[in-house]
Structure 1
Amino acid sequence: MYNILMLDDDQMMIETISPLLLHSGLNIQHIFSANTFSQGLDYIRDYDIDLLITDLEVEGLDRIYDMQQVKMINPSIEIIVVSAHNTFEYAQAAIRLGVKNYLIKPLDLELFVDSVREVLLHSTISRPVIEHVNWSHCNHFQMQRHPIQKHIKLNQLFASNGYVPQEESEYRSLGLQGPYYAMIKIQYQPLTANQMTLTVEDQYLLNYAVMNLAVELVHNQWNSITFETDECEINMIIQWDETSYLQGWHHKIRQLNQLGQLLHSHIDHYLHIPNVIGISQILKGYEFINQLNIQAHQALMWHTQYPDHHVFYYGNMHWKKHEWIEVSESKEGKNTYNLIVSQVKAYIEKCYGQKGLTIHDVAKKNHVSPNYLSYLFKKTTGFNLWEYVIKLRMEESRNLLLETDLRRYEVAERVGYESPEHFSKIFKRYYGISPSEFKQLQA
């Protein structure tokens, strides 16, 4: 389990980011926060911190050079810098000092959470090493296709607005036990004489051939579920329980890449079919099942940019150019995104006054992951999702202060805040004056 320290004097930033990280699919034990560099060093000395996320403007921090002091206390700690300084010199110096990523404020929350995932998944913190994986073929076996109803449900599960089981038992009935999951997506291009369209029977047999090869390759080596999408595409879900994941967890990404390379080469060599492999990150929890599909699909899109490569891991690609976003967003896809955002806005406008409301709650109600929802919402509306919630809450609280005699704590309750003090702090940050000062101006 991971311990994260957030070093930033912007409390609103910490309050926005912490829930995202806790619901990111990573096995996070605790998120600590500090407002000064000296407080941060105390946490690093007293706790086993895996990742430090730090602003450069924190009190007592001598820019990025104090990172050396952090590394002396805990040599294995990973560091992500978030900064308003968009200069090459700062970023270059940060990389020289072992900083894993240098992100510019205001943060793109989707990219930020993916960066945290990638740093932690690739960290070199000492853990038990997994036994060597034997990639040789196993004894011959007969693959059984999924019953048609299971096949349909598996496909519906990964649709953008498809089937969402309400009970854990429904996931288990599909073979999904986890709690850690990754997806490998195999996309192939059948070669037919004179570019003739494949018959339904031909497509059926071709899917079976690719699936059979894929399943045989992982048989007795991985806990996996493989199913077809009827679109020259095969999905493979790799899953781990707690024990097997923690045994050599930091080798899992490398092994997924090895498996991707083997899948590509075997399909190419034995079936003579051009194919591309997309690999997702490893995420924890049923609620991120659909996110795996999105990541694997986006990894595949990089083949349009790099046609000489055939195996793409989402975590490697996401930090370079982002043309794949535009490539992958067809008119139909954009309509779907707009529909999701419209539904989310309607839900927020109805429920923003609900106490304890989180981005995770909003995402779950609308059947998408929190990180993907944050990305879609910002891209479509220009607002960060939680900024939109605060906007609605502040506008309503202003109206209540103007038009009613409600006390501060009553207004706070009406707009979803447990603490009147926290409400006052947000109100003053938003309007520049406190609720009581605002009330006095209207008298």
Structure 2
Amino acid sequence: MYNILMIDDDWLTTEKLSQLLWHAGLNMSHIFSAHTFAQGLDYIREYEIDLLITDIEVAGLNGIDYMQQIKMIKPSIEIIVVSANNTFENAQTAIRLGVKNYLIKPLHQEQFLDSVREVLLHLNITRPAIEKVSVPQCNHFQMKRHTMQNHLKLNQLLAPQPHLPSDDSLYQSLGLYGPYYAMLKIRYQPLTSRQIDLTLEDQHLLNYAVMNIAVEIVHDQWNSITFETDDCEINIIIQWDEASYNQGWNDKIRQLNQLGQLLHTHIDQYLHIPNVIGISQILKGYSFIKQLNVQANRAVLWHTKYPDHYVFYYGNIHWKSDELEEHQSKNPYNLIVSQVKEYIEKYYGQKGLTIHDVAKKNHVSPNYLSYLFKKDTGFNLWEYVIKLRMEESRNLLLQTDLRRYEVAEKVGYESPEHFSKIFKKYYGISPSEFKQLQA
């Protein structure tokens, strides 16, 4: 269980955020509040604080020096900055200190909770939880459909305004013991949209086929509940008890992503049906099953932005809904990524260019720059360099009479052979073959 410390001289802000966190399904032990940096340092020294949420300026003092002290006292602590101060210099300095996110006031609640959840999901806490919950072990999911009654109940839990029972009996009757849950949502393309005339019974059989593939893959290794909706969707709720969650749990997001990739591949291979997998975060408590569904739905929708990708984890996504657009446009991290893109677009043809060069010119660490760039653009940073180089080399081959080695040199490759290898991997044919096709 986690200990969180909030430092802000606005007591109303700390009170509101505390209440928000307590009702967010997080595995928390204590939330401490300090109204000065000095008080915050006392908490850091006295308690095992896992996450610090702090303003950049408290009681007229700039928090950069205090954050450096905090990192010296406890290097493993994670930090999220919540501030009305959105200067680029502060954001750069915060990044150098390893701050995980820099959120601008006024806060959007969902963005704040997503940021906190994502930080906590990747913490590796080895000390025992204060409370132990004893729940039945469910090692295998029986390969059979839920009764119609259970099917309706499971779908009712995902409704926009679900009626949540006050006791545990309904959840346990459905096999939901928890207390930790994640959801994988499979959304596939109905065959009728591909001009194939199917009866309603055929469509039900298709839905059943998708569900059975999901059950075959999941049930041996995961404590899970699999059920269908009426919209060409299959939902898989993965659950963990306290003991299994705390045992190597920091690797669970990677495992869920691997599971999503496996589901997509098998459905595509054996049923030849286009499908997308959305994966939620891991939340604690029955009452957050609806939130898992919301997150998995939003993850699936990310396919419309990146149609060449089919598995999406909600925690990796930067949302740009109308509600968050203005908020995110003020985010200094977005300014860093924009500057990096401008730099790469100007110098991608420079020989010997490296990620370290790009990071140094923009005053951030290579690892953190790669993380920010991927999260904001969907591309790995070096993939973006290659993309620009390949597009320019294609234009040069189409529009000029330059030789292969000349094209390679113009787009930043010292070796014509290496350029040809990258070009063939990117376009499927060599530069000379491409040139011949245009003749």
Q: CA offset at residue 254 of structure 1?
A: 1.4
Aligned to 1:321: 320
- Quote the Cα distance in structure 1 between the aligned partners of 2:313 and 2:216: 22
Kindly provide the amino acid, as one letter, of the partner of residue 233 in structure 1: E
**Match of residue 74 from structure 1:** 74
Q: String of CA shifts for 1:173-212, please: whole Å, max 9, x gaps.
A: 0111101111100000134596135321111111111111
- Please report the TM-score for the alignment, with normalisation by the length of structure 1: 0.67
Q: Shift of residue 8 of structure 1?
A: 0.6
Query: Is residue 37–residue 66 contact of structure 2 (8 Å, CA) maintained in 1?
Result: no
Percent of counterpart pairs with the same letter?
73
Q: Is the 8 A contact 1:36 1:60 kept in 2?
A: no
Distance 2:194 2:21 in 1: 51
Q: Distance in 2 between matches of 1:228 and 1:33?
A: 44
- Deviation, structure 1 residue 33: 0.8
Q: By how many angstroms is 1:256 displaced? A: 1.0
1:364 alignment partner in structure 2: none
Check the 8 A contact 1:225/1:237 in 2, yes or no: yes
Instruction: State the 1:88 CA deviation.
Output: 2.3
| Conserved? CA contact 2:226–2:236, under 8 Å | yes
- Whole-Å separation in 2 of the counterparts to 1:195 and 1:189: 12
Separation of aligned partners in 2, 1:106 and 1:230: 39
Provide the residue aligned with 1:158 in structure 2: 158
Equivalent positions of 1:36-435 (< 5 A) are: 36-59=36-59, 61-125=61-125, 143-191=143-191, 195-317=195-317, 319-322=318-321
**1:236/1:324 Cα in 2 relative to 1: closer, same or farther (>3 Å)?**
farther
Distance 1:216 1:109 in 2: 38
Contact persistence 2:303–2:310 (CA under 8 A): yes
Q: For 2:127 and 2:308, how far apart are their aligned partners in 1?
A: 35
* 2:280/2:292 contact within 8 Å kept: yes
Question: Following the alignment from structure 1 to structure 2, what is the Cα–Cα distance between the partners of residues 324 and 84?
Answer: 18
Residues 1:198 and 1:92: Cα distance change in structure 2 (over 3 Å)? farther
CA positional deviation for 1:272: 1.2
Deviations 1:190-239 (A, max 9, x none): 34596135321111111111111111111221100000002110000000
Distance 1:70 1:60 in 2: 18
Q: Name the CA distance, whole Å, in 2 between partners of 1:34 and 1:295.
A: 32
Kept in 1, the 8 Å contact 2:296–2:314? The answer is yes
- The CA deviation at 1:257 is 1.1
Is the CA contact 1:267–1:275 (under 8 Å) kept in the aligned structure 2? yes
Give the SS at the match of 1:235.
strand
- Separation in structure 2 between the aligned mates of residue 325 and residue 151 of structure 1, nearest angstrom: 35
Alignment TM-score, normalising by the size of structure 2: 0.68
Render the CA deviation track for 1:303-355: whole Å, top value 9, x for unaligned.
111111111111111x34336999xxxxxxxxxxxxxxxxxxxxxxxxxxxxx
* 1:175 aligned counterpart, secondary structure: coil
> Conserved in 1, the CA contact under 8 Å of 2:37 and 2:63?
no
The number of residue pairs the alignment matches comes to 313
Q: Per-residue displacement from partner, 1:390-412 (whole Å, max 9, x unpaired)?
A: xxxxxxxxxxxxxxxxxxxxxxx
Aligned partners of 1:78 and 1:100 also within 8 Å: yes
**Cα pair distance change 1:279/1:324, threshold 3 Å:** farther
CA contact (8 A) 1:3 1:48 kept: yes
Q: Which amino acid aligns with 1:286?
A: Y
Aligned to 1:363: none
Gaps of at least 5 residues in structure 2 are: 129-140, 326-439
- 2:163 and 2:276 map into 1 onto residues whose CA distance is 27
Counterpart of 2:382 in structure 1 is none
Query: Is the CA contact (8 Å cut-off) linking 1:26 and 1:283 kept in structure 2?
Result: yes
User: What are the superposed Cα offsets for residues 88-114 of structure 1, whole Å, 9 maximum, x if unpaired?
Assistant: 222122111100000001111221111
Question: Kindly tell me: are residues 260 and 7 of structure 1, through their superposed partners in 2, closer, same or farther at Cα, counting changes over 3 Å?
Answer: same
Cα distance in 1 between the residues matched to 2:29 and 2:281: 19
- Cα distance change, pair 254–85 in 1 and its aligned pair in 2 (3 A): same
Residue 30 of structure 1 corresponds to which residue in structure 2?
30
For residues 7-22 of structure 1, what are the structure 2 equivalents within 5 Å? 7-22=7-22
Deviations along 1:41-78, whole A, 9 cap, x unmatched? Answer: 11111111000001111148543243221111111100
SS in 2 for 1:76: coil
Secondary structure class of the residue paired with 1:276? strand
- 1:410 counterpart residue number: none
Q: 1:269, CA displacement in angstroms?
A: 1.4
Q: Alignment partner of 2:220: what SS?
A: coil
Contact in 1 for aligned 2:179/2:240 (Cα 8 Å): yes
Structure 1's 271 and 73: CA in aligned 2 closer, same or farther, altered over 3 A? same
Deviates more, 1:85-94 or 1:43-52: 85-94
- 2: CA distance between counterparts of 1:142 and 1:98? 45
Q: Report the secondary structure of 2:239's partner residue.
A: strand
Contact 1:76 1:125 in 2 (8 A): no
Partners of 2:125 and 2:319 in 1: how far apart? 25
